[in-house]
Structure 1
Amino acid sequence: MFDFRLKVFYTVAQKLSFTKAAQALFVTQPAVTKHIRELEQQLGVALFKRNGNSIALTAAGQLLLQHAQKIQEAYTALENDLAQFSSNAGGSLRVGASTTLAQYVLPSILALFKTSQPTVNFSFVTGNSNQVEQLLMQGQLDMGIVEGNSHHPQVTYEPFARDEIVLVTKAGNQLSRYAEIKLEQLLTVPLVMREHGSGTRDVVVRSLAGAGIHAKDLKAEIFLDSSESIKQYLLHSQCAAFLSMHSVSKELKQRELTVIDVKGLDISRTFQFISLHGQNAPLVDLFKRFCLRHYNLG
């Protein structure tokens, strides 16, 4: 419920570091800078003072932080109060999730939910976004969480969380010498691509098309069906790949992979809850609220 741009400001204000805020939010530092700049333009005031490599809140920034804290506390209190109506709900919940979410986002949330709701019987299925949507429409799932951009008329789509997709390559190879490349240079880079049906692939192809680059013109060396297999390929090749920031956070921290910015290209997406129209089970709603409350905590 906490507006993402306000969440970016709140995180930067807490950590007083654009870099640390980017790591906590699973986005790049340029994305954090962009959100803060847009918020400052929207409000018409400067929120941070830049002093070399350090930042500090302005008077306006301190005032906004006070209100942001109150807003976050109010949202948390509201969600906690609503959750009490469904506490110890019991029953069964069949959830499906696309690959990136299933591997890097949901495991900790699922463990926390099971601890808070021990009487709920869980079944969890992983597939690409298209597969999860098909299982939902076949009645084999109560809900799903996907990363694609489909619009099936019988499916309800609700935003869950934001994600940024970045171009990464092995640290130390020839390509890693470039902190930034031009859009047209991307056509010469050997790429590892996700398989057809992948939500990550869909959003990358769509964003590239919007920038005037067609997928058929890319120099695709190989197609693989998971982020883990792509990362292992990258570590033993001169290739690059578009991957979710969630999937590469560990490798970036350990300096095994590095991000290459593509000038003029910004690829972001919204993870989405999906459910069939008219099927709003209380247990499904409870799990959605729990996901929103516990995503990215800490």
Structure 2
Amino acid sequence: MIFDFRLKVFYTVAQRLSFTKAANELFITQPAVTKHIKELEQQLNIQLFKRNGNNITLTAAGKILMQYAEKIFHTYTDLETELAQLNNVEAGTLHIGASTTVAQTILPKILALFKKTYPEIIFNFIQGNTDYISQLILDEKIDIAIVEGAAHSPQLAYSPFAKDEVVLVTRANNKLSKKAEITPRQLLDIPLVLREAGSGTLDVIFNALASVQIMPKDLNIEIQLESSIAIKQYLLYSDTAAFLSIQSVLSELKYHELSIIDIKGMEIFRTFQFIQLHGKNSRLIDLFKRFCLTNHNIK
């Protein structure tokens, strides 16, 4: 996308209201985020954020710029679409896959917009845990996929799609929700609902816990379920907690059905990644990847 990267940095910070989370999502350092915002404020000769300790909010000018940034990004999306159509890449068949969290939270909107933008492209879509989707790529049953998790196969090419945060959540207004923050060791006393073996989310959680000397055998695991949707339903009728993508619980947090429990000194970030076979590429695959990158965080 041909735009001033500083505007992209501003847009991401404005969405997350966090320089740290914006840096993680954009794959740059926090000082780089600060530098881009400072340069943009100097260029516009106006303050875009109010800073109060570790918290930031948009100024009146920042809110106006946020509105126009969204319009600008949508305009660039339309421009890229028309230019792509000139290259006759708007027809064909694409086999797409995604791991469960991505398939349930991010891709439905993108796939709908992709079909609306390129109605002549036929695509098939399949979801499953990271191990299953990766195997489909290796078996050449799908062309391109987006997965979570830390596992890597030497036969697959990986490229970053988006950053995501995994948070510990529980049913609002139960005794666990009153614990705004816990230590990593206190986690051992909480009954947990986890994803199934082979889940990329589970791999990320176990890796993060290992960094604070907590092993899977130490956890109080009440049940393991195969999707975020099932886990959320279980949470609503139990006094358990679960590690879930922040993307998958936005609605429940908004309507105060679930609450986040912070773990002192521990944040869990992971990268959703495109995967495809090394050497297997096409204009359709490239088009789909560009479309995902352009549209995944535009409201």
TM-score by length of 1: 0.81
The CA deviation at 1:10 is 2.6
In structure 2, the gaps of 5 or more residues are 42-48
The CA deviation at 1:50 is 3.1
Residue 173 of structure 1 corresponds to 174
Say whether the 8 Å CA contact 1:98–1:132 is kept in structure 2: yes
The CA deviation at 1:44 is 10
Once residues 230 and 126 of structure 2 are traced to their aligned partners in structure 1, the CA distance between those partners, rounded to angstroms, is 19
The CA deviation at 1:76 is 5.6
Once the two structures are superposed, the pairs formed by residues 1-298 of structure 1 within 5 Å of their partners are: 7=8, 9-13=10-14, 21-22=15-16, 32=21, 38-39=30-31, 43=35, 48-50=49-51, 55=57, 79-80=80-81, 83-87=84-88, 89-298=90-299
Q: CA RMSD in A?
A: 3.6
The CA deviation at 1:196 is 0.5
| Further displaced range: 80-89 or 204-213 | 80-89
Cα deviation digits, residues 138-164 of structure 1 (max 9, x gap)? 110111110122211110001111111
Say whether the 8 Å CA contact 1:5–1:39 is kept in structure 2: no
Cα deviation digits, residues 70-101 of structure 1 (max 9, x gap)? x9799769845753454552111101111111
Structure-2 change in CA distance of 1:81 and 1:210 (3 Å): farther
Structure-2 change in CA distance of 1:6 and 1:210 (3 Å): farther
Structure-2 change in CA distance of 1:8 and 1:249 (3 Å): farther
Structure-2 change in CA distance of 1:6 and 1:244 (3 Å): farther
TM-score by length of 2: 0.81
The CA deviation at 1:39 is 3.4
The CA deviation at 1:247 is 0.8
Residue 17 of structure 1 corresponds to none
Once residues 161 and 3 of structure 1 are traced to their aligned partners in structure 2, the CA distance between those partners, rounded to angstroms, is 19
**Secondary structure at the residue paired with 1:159?**
strand
The CA deviation at 1:45 is 8.9
The CA deviation at 1:22 is 3.1
Say whether the 8 Å CA contact 2:194–2:221 is kept in structure 1: yes
Say whether the 8 Å CA contact 1:88–1:118 is kept in structure 2: no
Structure-2 change in CA distance of 1:54 and 1:167 (3 Å): closer
In structure 1, the gaps of 5 or more residues are 14-20, 24-28
Say whether the 8 Å CA contact 1:136–1:142 is kept in structure 2: yes
Residue 16 of structure 1 corresponds to none
Cα deviation digits, residues 36-67 of structure 1 (max 9, x gap)? 9933786399774336987456x9x99x99xx
Percent of paired sites with the same residue: 54
Equivalent residue letter for 1:145: I
Once residues 177 and 37 of structure 1 are traced to their aligned partners in structure 2, the CA distance between those partners, rounded to angstroms, is 34
Cα deviation digits, residues 154-194 of structure 1 (max 9, x gap)? 10001111111000000000000011111111111110011
**Secondary structure at the residue paired with 2:249?**
helix
Say whether the 8 Å CA contact 2:84–2:90 is kept in structure 1: no
Say whether the 8 Å CA contact 2:19–2:34 is kept in structure 1: no
